[in-house]
Chain A
Amino acid sequence: MSIGTIKKVAGPLVIAEGMRDANMFDVVRVSKHRLIGEIIEMHGDKASIQVYEETSGLGPGEPVESTGAPLSVELGPGLIRSIYDGIQRPLDDIMKLSGNNLQRGVEVPSLKRDIKWKFTPCVKSGTKVTGGDVIGTVQETDIVLHKIMVPCKLKGTIKSIKEGEFTVTEAIAVLEKEDGTTQDLTLMQKWPVRVGRPYKKKLSPDMPLITGQRVIDTLFPIAKGGVAAVPGPFGSGKTVVQHQLAKWAEADIVVYIGCGERGNEMTDVLNEFPELIDPKTGKTLMERTVLIANTSDMPVAAREASIYTGITIAEYFRDMGYSVALMGDSTSRWAEALREMSGRLEEMPGEEGYPAYLGSRLAQFYERAGRVITLGSDDTEGALSVIGAVSPPGGDISEPVSQATLRIVKVFWGLDASLAYKRHFPAVNWLTSYSLYVDTMANWYKENVASDWMDCRGRIMHLLQEEAELEEIVKLVGMDALSAPDRLKLEAARSIREDFLHQNAFHETDTYTSLDKQYKMMHLVLAYFDLSTMALKNGADIEKLVSLPERERVGRFKYVQNENAEKEYEDIMLNLEKSINNLTTKGDNEDA
């Protein structure tokens, strides 16, 4: 352990002398306030330290003490339902210690030390175990069974193991290593945040992460273990999309990182999640959620760490064999934090002042996602999906953070300000967005939802594309110049937009749509189009087809509750056929 002294203070950057014995990326305690910092550069015996707390009032000569360990998180029972700051300090405990505002130098353990967890072993003494093997379980919340694993790098024989109630630091088992020494195992383990947790093998993603959001599940699906980016200007609904995914994505565990965003948004999650019921488990959404909050007014250096803290926790749950979804809102703020530190270190800047290593850092982060075979002998499969929001300045995605992100991610949900102005939410632009997982997951949709799912999807995309082309013509020559079949296409596309893609996050039924219902909705819209095309050929009047009263019921189908959906669907279908057929027969009569 080495103790140095402060030489220079410039915002969150502190330079200390006499640090020759410290390691790179060691956590240090700065000044008499004992602020937490991390060594990010060494020059001789001078260490550059990024400090995770406000450095006001610090001056030369104050002590800097290295802890000799890198920035790590505590992993164990108690993570779920917590809200942490960027370096995994529980915000509720900080509140008890320092009131409504965040004071400096607060020291609180990440996992509560006073709670006793009921531990049930699942191996007997004498069992040979390796890193990642599950030795027992703790029922952490009603729906999360927390599996206690042997820390990654250990291997040996369990000498003894106890059932009962333990705190996270008490020994639950003794492991005899191969060299004959023994080590106590506890419910808690530590892991450095900047290092990805190891796994046996990565698999390619082949099934979707179902989100209940129609534009995502149907048009631009994300795979379990996939990565997606949501760029958009302010006000285009990035945060609502992220919240919707955190609420409804079919994941066992959700880690939500509020990185440099609004304080009230975190409060909203904190208030709302304990009250929202997960349709699959019947329990509240908070029972599967971990929150990391570094709001925009909190110290900027901790923002850089928050992303890593979050993904390490997510990897830990992945290692138990769970499907984990991580939302990062927003990675641009993380990149800006990187830029600010880089500027203060006087590094040579790359594009727009961002450091030259921006792209590689982003890639390293996103590559920690994936579907993997975990460590441990029973080859469990876990998945970590990552969805990152990007906040490009002025909504222009030619800037460095968006571009670096797009090079890595496989799914792109481009949010569009003009859609948001029309209050078309989610404002995902169907022409610019893409998902590279569509083809690999086609089989899954065929087998699990409907055999013609991909065809329907293809037709929907095609109609939307044709609409964009026809709109150009309409702008030039007016609606009258269009042929009746073209007008019908526009009407069908409008119906796709308004009745299918538009989804109200605040409506109790519309907020989540099952795949089956999504399929029915697609069918209704396409049925209208097909029947009308036929009717047109048989001489029906386009105006009457456009103003068909049944279309209103198609539009309202999204608000129909799941249990009535089947009946309503068939009823609408029947009526559609009847009334459209009526039009042609009536047309015939008039002709006659």
Chain B
Amino acid sequence: MPKEYRTIEEVAGPLMLVKNVENVNYNDLGEVELADGEVRRCKVLEINGTDALVQLFDSSAGINLSNSKVRFLGRSMELGVSVDMLSRVFDGMGRPIDGGPEILPDKRMDINGLPMNPAARNYPQEFIQTGVSAIDGLNTLVRGQKLPIFSASGLPHANLAAQIARQAKVRGTTEPFAVVFAAMGITFEESNFFIESFKETGAIDRTVMFVNLANDPAIERISTPRMALTAAEYLAFDAGMHVLVIMTDITNYADALREVSAARKEVPGRRGYPGYMYTDLATLYERAGRQKGKNGSITLIPILTMPEDDKTHPIPDLTGYITEGQIILSRDLYRKNIAPPIDVLPSLSRLKDKGIGKGKTREDHSNTMNQLFAAYARGKDAKELMVILGEAALTDIDKLYAKFADEFEKQYVSQGYNTNRSIEETLDLGWKLLSILPRSELKRIDDKYLDMYYGK
């Protein structure tokens, strides 16, 4: 039985100072027992001689300096993992909340994980067909990639994420897959939307859920994604499954991080977020990937809502610097009734180049992708000009580009949340749209593909 301390000296926000402790280590997990027997969890943030600075995961309400007891468990926070976790629902701290029995763990894993050796990584290059043209055709997702969705309040990111989870497959394989879903501070409705959507397709049997809702303790959100990624690592690298991890909403996570940092009176970085937020987010996102000698993979789709639709806000900004691209949703497109409202120009998949082409998608993929981007960008410029000066001010070729941009949004991007397009359908649609333009404009496409596909 670990030693109990009744020496809580200070409680402020999520932090607590415990005096006269012995044999307590940095990052140790602890438990606070209130007078009525309620137990709450905490961890050591700093140890200075016999003083331990402790971060609470639950609210501090009811903690009493004279009769609350603190125990330190001598280990960091762990999650008991097993394949039986599939189809179960847990809270943000990894306790079952679906009324089912406790998990009999196959092993216990530290939720902080260990950094992956870059020499042990396998480069992600297997094409995942999501059935969404704007992703498959232009911002291709591959197995083991981390590709966030940058959304904003009121945009349908949940529909898109659910569509991807429903439709995603690697063609020609039947390897076992699983979905790990981490909800951080989202509403019951949004969380329920995902659950219903998983149920509809039967994916719920292969899903592990970690749910921290908006009314759950904010600080618990710091451990929720780590719980989810630990479960994902087990399923991927121990049980050999291909795991798709969806985390929503990273913005709530970052706010919880800021709360702890502010309580510690740390020197803040931009907008009050801690200076180490880049490193902290990286230790989450970088857990995605593939490893040498292992069959499984972790593909990560974090969702974040950009405050004020601002992409330069620290949360999307730092995320963009870590993840391998981003899918950006646009309010303008949403208002135009484009569904999903993916803004393809600032969206990007960094790993697409190795995942597309002959033998993976089709040989003309890379060329047409570049041409579609360039043509859409020029079309949008032309339309902007048209707004100011009227259609008459455009040259004939720019009029064609403007028409292309409209058709592209209507046919290519706006496909609805229930259409599942194969990659061939997506590519052929691309060609159909490109044939609005004269052949001489298609400079980014190799002649041999023009001969094969243009105008056919």
A81 touches B (CB below 8 Å): no
User: What mask results when residues 4 to 29 of chain B are scored 1 for a CB within 8 Å of chain A, else 0?
Assistant: 00000000000000000001111110
Kindly specify which of A97-105, A159-167, A573-581 makes contact with the partner chain.
A97-105
Known A-B contacts A8-B49, A296-B286; A100 and B373 likewise in contact (beta carbons under 8 Å): no
User: What mask results when residues 272 to 302 of chain B are scored 1 for a CB within 8 Å of chain A, else 0?
Assistant: 0001101100110111010111100000000
Interface hub of A8, A9, A504 (most chain B Cβ within 10 A): A9
Quick check: A263 and B121 within 8 Å, CB to CB? yes
Kindly specify which of B83-91, B164-172, B200-208, B319-327 makes contact with the partner chain.
B319-327
The distance in angstroms between the C-alpha atoms of A303 and B45, with both chains bound, is 22
Min distance, Cβ A386 to any Cβ of chain B, angstroms: 21
**What residues on A are CB-neighbors of B346 within 8 Å?**
235, 417, 421
Quick check: A549 and B373 within 8 Å, CB to CB? no
B32 touches A (CB below 8 Å): no
Known A-B contacts A9-B47, A100-B292; A549 and B385 likewise in contact (beta carbons under 8 Å): no
The distance in angstroms between the C-alpha atoms of A101 and B237, with both chains bound, is 11
**What residues on B are CB-neighbors of A478 within 8 Å?**
385, 389, 393
State which residues 33-56 of B face A: CB under 8 Å. 45-50
Quick check: B49 and A60 within 8 Å, CB to CB? yes
**What residues on B are CB-neighbors of A131 within 8 Å?**
none
Quick check: A235 and B322 within 8 Å, CB to CB? no
B452 touches A (CB below 8 Å): no
Q: How many residues of A contact B (CB 8 A)?
A: 80
Quick check: B123 and A340 within 8 Å, CB to CB? no
A293 touches B (CB below 8 Å): yes
Min distance, Cβ A303 to any Cβ of chain B, angstroms: 9
A432 touches B (CB below 8 Å): no
B435 touches A (CB below 8 Å): no
**What residues on B are CB-neighbors of A268 within 8 Å?**
123, 354
Quick check: B119 and A421 within 8 Å, CB to CB? no
Known A-B contacts A479-B395, A480-B393; A100 and B123 likewise in contact (beta carbons under 8 Å): no
Quick check: A394 and B312 within 8 Å, CB to CB? yes
Quick check: B115 and A336 within 8 Å, CB to CB? no
Find B283's partner among A59, A297, A349, A475 (CB 8 Å cutoff).
Answer: A297
**What residues on A are CB-neighbors of B291 within 8 Å?**
100
Kindly specify which of A63-71, A87-95, A181-189, A366-374 makes contact with the partner chain.
A87-95
The distance in angstroms between the C-alpha atoms of A100 and B294, with both chains bound, is 10
Find A58's partner among B26, B267, B318 (CB 8 Å cutoff).
Answer: B26
A216 touches B (CB below 8 Å): no
**What residues on B are CB-neighbors of A297 within 8 Å?**
115-116, 282-283, 286-287
A439 touches B (CB below 8 Å): no
A196 touches B (CB below 8 Å): no
A483 touches B (CB below 8 Å): no
User: What mask results when residues 251 to 294 of chain A are scored 1 for a CB within 8 Å of chain B, else 0?
Assistant: 00000001010111011101100000000000000000000010
Known A-B contacts A393-B312, A480-B393; A262 and B123 likewise in contact (beta carbons under 8 Å): no
The distance in angstroms between the C-alpha atoms of A54 and B115, with both chains bound, is 10
A36 touches B (CB below 8 Å): no
Min distance, Cβ B225 to any Cβ of chain A, angstroms: 13
The distance in angstroms between the C-alpha atoms of A92 and B120, with both chains bound, is 8
**What residues on B are CB-neighbors of A296 within 8 Å?**
278-279, 282-283, 285-286, 322
Quick check: B393 and A102 within 8 Å, CB to CB? no
**What residues on A are CB-neighbors of B65 within 8 Å?**
none
**What residues on B are CB-neighbors of A479 within 8 Å?**
393-395, 398
The distance in angstroms between the C-alpha atoms of A234 and B148, with both chains bound, is 13
Quick check: A234 and B320 within 8 Å, CB to CB? yes
The distance in angstroms between the C-alpha atoms of A299 and B117, with both chains bound, is 12
**What residues on A are CB-neighbors of B348 within 8 Å?**
235, 420
**What residues on B are CB-neighbors of A99 within 8 Å?**
120
B353 touches A (CB below 8 Å): yes
Quick check: A270 and B317 within 8 Å, CB to CB? no
Quick check: B269 and A95 within 8 Å, CB to CB? no
A149 touches B (CB below 8 Å): no
Find A423's partner among B267, B370, B385 (CB 8 Å cutoff).
Answer: B370
The distance in angstroms between the C-alpha atoms of A588 and B196, with both chains bound, is 75
Find A83's partner among B118, B325, B389 (CB 8 Å cutoff).
Answer: B118
Quick check: B27 and A57 within 8 Å, CB to CB? yes
Min distance, Cβ A499 to any Cβ of chain B, angstroms: 8
Closest to B113 in A: A101
State which residues 366-405 of A face B: CB under 8 Å. 391, 393-396
Quick check: A56 and B76 within 8 Å, CB to CB? yes
Interface pairs (24), CB distance under 8 Å? A8-B48, A9-B47, A55-B27, A57-B75, A58-B25, A59-B25, A98-B117, A100-B120, A102-B116, A233-B317, A235-B325, A235-B326, A235-B346, A266-B118, A267-B122, A295-B116, A295-B286, A297-B286, A336-B279, A343-B266, A353-B267, A395-B312, A423-B370, A506-B366
List 7 tightest A-B contacts by C-beta distance, closest first: A394-B312, A478-B393, A296-B282, A59-B25, A297-B286, A101-B114, A234-B320
Name 8 extra pairs, CB < 8 A, besides A10-B48, A476-B388.
Answer: A57-B75, A264-B121, A295-B115, A352-B270, A393-B270, A417-B346, A480-B393, A506-B353
Which residues of A are in contact with B by a Cβ distance under 8 Å? 7-11, 15, 54-61, 83, 91-92, 94-95, 98-103, 233-235, 258, 260, 262-264, 266-268, 270-271, 293, 295-300, 333, 336, 339-340, 343, 349, 352-353, 391, 393-396, 417, 420-424, 474-480, 498, 504, 506, 547, 549, 552, 555-556, 559
Which residues of B are in contact with A by a Cβ distance under 8 Å? 23-28, 45-50, 75-76, 110, 112-124, 144, 237, 266-270, 275-276, 278-279, 282-283, 285-287, 289, 291-294, 311-314, 317-318, 320-322, 324-326, 345-346, 348, 350-351, 353-354, 366, 370, 373-374, 377-378, 385, 388-389, 392-395, 398, 440, 443, 446
